Amino acid sequence: MHEVDMTRCLLLSMNEWKQQHAPRVPAVDRVHLEVGTFTCVEPDQLVVTWADAVKGSWLDGAELVIESVLLVGRCVRCQATYSPDPANGFRSPCCQHPMEEIVSGRELRIRSVAYGFETATTQPTAPCFTPAC
């Protein structure tokens, strides 16, 4: 359910980004996100929520592209990086040490926006969500 709130925050950031280009309105092709696997975000659900939220707005038709970032830990004993496995209790396979340091996997990041400007400007409409964050 919180993918709706994630989408709301994403739309707020996108609206702020749009203001940087005012008075022109960018035609957004794709929004690239980096989502770590050690987060509470389900990428497929986020894509569905996004597609629904942007309908009828200035972002209508913009594709949400999500790149998963794998969870990588670093063993504090031997400094080896590893892929923490829930089946192994997230411990380092080398020393069986608990997951102390996380190198990657906690990302929730808007990496980039691919866009352009149409020759004929269109009147933007408000996004579906009201700013609530």
Partner 1 sequence: MHMPLEDTLGLNLLAANQQRAEHNREHFDAWNLLCLNVMSSPGAGKTSLLERSLAALSGRWAMAVLEGDMTTLLDAERLEAVGIPVVPITTGRACHLDAAMVSGGLKLLRQRLDPAALDILWVENVGNLVCPAEFAIGEHRKVALLSVTEGDDKPLKYPVMFREADCVLITKVDLLPHLPVDVERIEAHIRQVNPRCAVFRLSATSGEGFEAWHAWLDAQRQAVQTSPALLHA
CB of 121 to partner 1, least distance (A): 12
Q: Which stretch binds partner 1 (CB under 8 A): 8-16, 48-56, 57-65?
A: 8-16
CB of 39 to partner 1, least distance (A): 6
Alpha-carbon distance of 73 to 95, in angstroms, equals 13
Per CB under 8 A, 131 contacts partner 1: yes
CB of 61 to partner 1, least distance (A): 13
Is 127 in contact with 54 (CB distance < 8 Å)?
yes
User: Given candidates 70, 80, 126, 133, which one binds partner 1 under the rule CB under 8 A?
Assistant: 133
Per CB under 8 A, 83 contacts partner 1: no
Q: Could you give the residue ranges of the DSSP H alpha helices within 20-133?
A: 43-53
Alpha-carbon distance of 100 to 104, in angstroms, equals 12
Please report the beta strands in 1-133, taking only residues with DSSP state E, as ranges in sequence order: 27-36, 63-69, 72-74, 81-82, 101-104, 108-116
User: Given candidates 77, 83, 94, 109, which one binds partner 1 under the rule CB under 8 A?
Assistant: 109
**Number of residues counted as binding partner 1 (CB under 8 A):** 42
